[in-house]
Structure 1
Amino acid sequence: MKTLIKIHPTDNIAIALVDFAAGSEVVFEERPITFLEKTKAKHKIALDDLNVGDAVYMYGVLVGKAVKPIKKGGLLTTENVKHQSHVTTGKTETTSWVPPDISAWKDRTFMGYHRPDGQVGTANVWLFFPLVFCENRNIEVLKEVFEKELAYHRPTKHQLMLRNLLKPTSGSELAKEEEPEGFFNTIEVKFITHQGGCGGIRQDSQLLAKLLAGYVNNPNVAGATVLSLGCQNLQIDIFKKALEAINPDFQKPVLIYEQQKMGTVEEMLSTIIKDSFEAIKKADQIQRQPAPLSKIKLGLECGGSDGFSGISANPALGYASDILSAVGGSPILSEFPELCGVEQELVNRCVDDADAARFLELMRDYEKSVVDAGSGFDMNPSPGNIKDGLITDAMKSAGAAKKGGTSPVTAVLDYGEYVTKPGLNLLCTPGNDVESTTAMAGSGANMIVFTTGLGTPTGNPITPVIKVSSNSELAAKMSDIIDVDAGPVIKGEKTIEEMGEEMLEYIIKVASGEIKSKAMLLNQNDFIPWKRGVSL
């Protein structure tokens, strides 16, 4: 088993695959290396002496600079290395691409829900949501009514535990966990709330309208019930125009109610419940049918990353992404702050020069807004990232970008824009896990794969989210949230390609409804819109 790895031939640092004590000696690339400090797995050491100002390379790209001397075998830390990345001003070459062998995949199908506009869903959801936060309470009331009466969520083991604590009984009379008995066959009823729609600048409401329109247009959604107060910034007309802009041929049922025109809350909720129930019954009649893999729009996400994410889970997902691109599917790479440092590679992969220019413009504008707020992309690694070996933003970014594989970039989209082109799409979102997954679902992702090295329970109300661990220890420790373990790559038991194919097989099973991802089983329905502007 390997104990030390260098990712790219030009790198001058290596990653420890196991823990090393200070003074440990290994032979690496036919050279003796002595570990000068205690080095935990996932952390990096210098392969040569580094002087102050020397560049640090990983994945073949610039990821930092030494701010203190680092001897060969010395541990890289936030004290001796700071963020530095290559400055990209435009396209320097057009990257050629050799797609993977897709002979085993080109005729594969999944069982999905076909929509009138040609999109295919991996789920069949009726969605309730408000246009403004003032309607959140009414959404919560509707959620309680529908979920209780449709038996989606019988008492959980924790509710039963509290019930037994409140009313102590003999052991034989303890309340027991029950299996839910759903009223419907294929439809799921989901509810989202948010804190927007009014009170901020008008641009915030317009962006929220685009996001919500994207959710309704997402092929996983069969129809929606929308609540409006009436006086808010996000008017019904703005939402309708946003929906028409995304899909002029939109044909799904959307029920919209405005409280200030309907009288009492009781009258409004009664009407909503009756109307929605009838519409949901019709949507429940939609059945799964075969669809080509080209109908999958796959969101690529990472969160709670560690020092192994960029060498196991992310590149394996990148290989699955490349296969999907090659068969006509649409992978989506987002989290623009986590692409800092790899801009040149992505620019060179853009098919259209206009997309290359737009990507750089979006990156510059985003970074400027961050700097104006008193921060910077170089402050992106979280304490958890740093603890597990990701000590600069460029280092984190270089590993995060591996999710996007090596395929050409066919489109660059701003937040709220909808994916329409096959091939790899770049979508401008924050690096925040939930804001990013929220945005990808709003741009049409009907599946999301989320890699993690530390563990995170993130899910989405309309799009299945699959969790992939970068290491086997996490998969064993948090087995209730991890679907696929990429740890065998670290242990040398599987190649990146084998792991990527295993992921794609799992994606197909979840997309077909054969199995539910752990986030779905946990009913993890996270939704956080990105608020770009300020409150007024």
Structure 2
Amino acid sequence: MNKYLQIHPDDNVLVALQDLPGGTPVQFNGTSLSLVKDVPAKHKFMLTDLQTGDPIVMYGVLVGKATEPIFKGEIITTGNVRHDSSAFHEKDKSEQWNKPDVSRWKDRTFMGYARRDGQVGTRNYWLVIPMVFCENRNVGVIKTAFEKGLGFAPPEMYNEQVSDLVNLYKEGNLEAIKTYQPPSVTETAKRNNVFTNIDGIKFLTHEGGCGGTRQDAEALCALLAGYIHHPNVAGATILSLGCQHAQVSILQTALRKLNPAFDKPVLVFEQQKSKSEFDMLSTAIKETFLALVEANKMERSPAPLSRLVIGLECGGSDGFSGISANPAVGHTSDLLVALGGTSILSEFPELCGVEQEIINRCVSENTAEKFIRIMRAYENRAESVGSGFYMNPSPGNIKDGLITDAIKSAGAAKKGGTSPVVDVLDYTEYVTKTGLNLLCTPGNDVESTSAEVGSGANIVLFTTGLGTPTGNPIAPVVKLATNTRLAERMPDIIDINTGPIISGEKSIAEMGEAILEFVIKTASGEITTKAEQLHQDDFIPWKRGVSL
């Protein structure tokens, strides 16, 4: 295994692939140096001497500047480096794309749920949605009733553990409590035996719908419309209080905008027009049950891979993200795009520093201009409240080697592969063009994943270097570890280990191809992701405030 790596020929830093003690001799392209201090795995050290203000280049782009002299062999930290990135401007050239060979997948299909509007789902869910947070409790009542009644409820292993502890306490056996070991988990998810073609009923509770701006309410309705319109959804039950900003009529307008011929069943119940809460909930449960009977008639059938729409997401990133999981996912995206499919790259704060490359990959001037306009507006909003994209890296990111936003961004952008950018979508806009799409979202894992699915992703590839449990209510979220240590430490949340790229056992292309095979099986229902098994149904609408 190599001890260090230069990612791009223009880089003046090397990445430590393993813990390197101070004094370790380094020979690289005719340059000899010794490490000044210990360099932990994932961190970077200088290949040349720098003076104050000199640029630091990684992934072939400017990622920071020295705040003091840095000697070759010295680790770069937040103490000697500050964020910096190159300016960007209008499209000045067109990038040529070399499509990967996809002949082996040309005739492959996945088993999906074909909807009348041409979309194909990878799952078949029913939604229960409150229009306003006032209805969250009522949604909870319906959730308890249906999940227990139909067998969709999460496993009660923790309830059983508490019962065991209570019994030991009643017996006065405190020593047994101290040494108590919970029974091993042999089954993490129950399967209903009533509606065998329905994967579950999902409940999109939230804290919005009223009390904010009218724009917040409109954005929430647009996001909810994207979920109802989504190919993984058979229909929805809507609970409305009646007086909130987020009116049902706004939701209905948003649905017609997505599809003028929208014809999925949407059952609406308004509490302020009901005889009583009991009457509303009882009626909602009965009518939802009847709708489930119809939804259960939908069966999986073969669909071309071009009907797949994958979201490209990362969270809990580390210093290996940009050299293992992210470029591997990028290759998977390129394979799918070459097959006529679609991918969505989001998290605009994590495109800082690579804007010009993305602009030049846009298929048209209009597409590039839209990206520039949204990117600058987002940055300006952040700066207006005393923040900025430079504040995006989290303490966990920094600890594991991502010390500036530009370093984090240059690696995060690798998820988008090399294919042309066919469209740029503002938040809640739905994908309409095959190929690589950019979607404006914050870097917040759940807000971004929620948005990708709301824009049509029927499966999400989520890379993580530190371990993030994020899932989604309606789309399978495939978790990819950037390193083997994480995959072995958190096997309950990790689906794929891309660590073999770091060890040199597999190439980025080989891993990208393996990921595509996993995607096909997951989309067909042959594989249930770890997030699905854990019922990790994360959903957070973005209020368009400053969230990085």
What's the TM-score bracket when you normalise by the shorter of the two chains? over 0.9
Contact 2:154 2:534 in 1 (8 A): no
Residue 516 of structure 1 aligns with which residue? Answer: 528
Alignment of 1:269-284 (within 5 A): 269-284=281-296
The alpha carbon displacement at 1:155 in A equals 4.4
Residue 8 of structure 2 aligns with which residue? Answer: 8
Q: Give, in whole Å, the separation in 2 of the partners of 1:384 and 1:8.
A: 25
Q: Give, in whole Å, the separation in 2 of the partners of 1:228 and 1:525.
A: 22
The alpha carbon displacement at 1:178 in A equals 8.9
SS state of the match for residue 515, structure 1?
Answer: coil
Contact 1:333 1:425 in 2 (8 A): yes
Residue 17 of structure 1 aligns with which residue? Answer: 17
Q: Note if 1:32 corresponds to 2:32.
A: yes
The alpha carbon displacement at 1:143 in A equals 0.4
Deviations 1:419-447 (A, max 9, x none): 01000000000000000000001001100
**1:85–1:250 CA distance, 2 compared to 1 (3 A):** same
SS state of the match for residue 466, structure 1?
Answer: strand
Deviations 1:256-310 (A, max 9, x none): 1111111210000010000000001110111100111110110000000000000
Residue 230 of structure 2 aligns with which residue? Answer: 218
The alpha carbon displacement at 1:31 in A equals 2.5
User: Which AA in structure 2 matches 1:426?
Assistant: L
Alignment of 1:15-414 (within 5 A): 15-153=15-153, 155-168=155-168, 180=190, 182=192, 183-187=194-198, 188-414=200-426
Residue 446 of structure 1 aligns with which residue? Answer: 458
Contact 2:154 2:535 in 1 (8 A): no
Q: Give, in whole Å, the separation in 2 of the partners of 1:366 and 1:492.
A: 39
Q: Give, in whole Å, the separation in 1 of the partners of 2:26 and 2:409.
A: 29
SS state of the match for residue 27, structure 1?
Answer: strand
The alpha carbon displacement at 1:29 in A equals 2.1
Q: Give, in whole Å, the separation in 1 of the partners of 2:500 and 2:369.
A: 39
The alpha carbon displacement at 1:26 in A equals 2.3
Contact 1:163 1:175 in 2 (8 A): no
User: Which AA in structure 1 matches 2:360?
Assistant: N
Alignment of 1:468-483 (within 5 A): 468-483=480-495
Q: Give, in whole Å, the separation in 2 of the partners of 1:154 and 1:3.
A: 44
Residue 179 of structure 2 aligns with which residue? Answer: none
Deviations 1:493-515 (A, max 9, x none): 00000000011111111100001
Contact 2:46 2:70 in 1 (8 A): yes
Q: Give, in whole Å, the separation in 2 of the partners of 1:43 and 1:162.
A: 43
Q: Give, in whole Å, the separation in 1 of the partners of 2:495 and 2:275.
A: 47
**1:324–1:177 CA distance, 2 compared to 1 (3 A):** closer
**1:269–1:17 CA distance, 2 compared to 1 (3 A):** same
User: Which AA in structure 2 matches 1:186?
Assistant: N
SS state of the match for residue 57, structure 1?
Answer: strand
Query: Tell me, which stretches of 5 or more residues in structure 1 are unaligned?
Result: none
Q: Give, in whole Å, the separation in 2 of the partners of 1:533 and 1:190.
A: 27
Task: Please point out which of 489, 493, 515 is paired with 2:505.
Answer: 493
TM-score (norm 1): 0.97
Deviations 1:17-46 (A, max 9, x none): 011111111222232221101100000001
SS state of the match for residue 317, structure 2?
Answer: coil
The alpha carbon displacement at 1:90 in A equals 1.0
Contact 1:4 1:28 in 2 (8 A): no
SS state of the match for residue 314, structure 1?
Answer: helix
SS state of the match for residue 105, structure 2?
Answer: coil
SS state of the match for residue 436, structure 1?
Answer: helix
**1:178–1:148 CA distance, 2 compared to 1 (3 A):** farther
Q: Give, in whole Å, the separation in 1 of the partners of 2:414 and 2:323.
A: 8
SS state of the match for residue 366, structure 1?
Answer: helix
Contact 1:164 1:175 in 2 (8 A): no
Q: Give, in whole Å, the separation in 1 of the partners of 2:327 and 2:360.
A: 19
Q: Tell me how large the CA RMSD over aligned residues is.
A: 1.6
Q: Give, in whole Å, the separation in 2 of the partners of 1:157 and 1:211.
A: 34
The alpha carbon displacement at 1:73 in A equals 0.6
SS state of the match for residue 462, structure 2?
Answer: strand
Q: Give, in whole Å, the separation in 2 of the partners of 1:36 and 1:409.
A: 43
Task: Please point out which of 419, 436, 459 is paired with 2:431.
Answer: 419
Structure 1, 145-154 or 378-387: larger mean CA deviation = 145-154
**1:224–1:73 CA distance, 2 compared to 1 (3 A):** same
Q: Give, in whole Å, the separation in 1 of the partners of 2:158 and 2:228.
A: 33
TM-score (norm 2): 0.95
Q: Percent identity?
A: 59
**1:480–1:280 CA distance, 2 compared to 1 (3 A):** same
Between the two proteins, the alignment pairs up a number of residues equal to 532
User: Which AA in structure 2 matches 1:352?
Assistant: S
**1:267–1:480 CA distance, 2 compared to 1 (3 A):** same
Q: Give, in whole Å, the separation in 1 of the partners of 2:443 and 2:543.
A: 13
SS state of the match for residue 103, structure 2?
Answer: coil
Structure 1, 522-531 or 254-263: larger mean CA deviation = 254-263
Deviations 1:309-365 (A, max 9, x none): 000000000000001111111100000000010000000000011010110110100
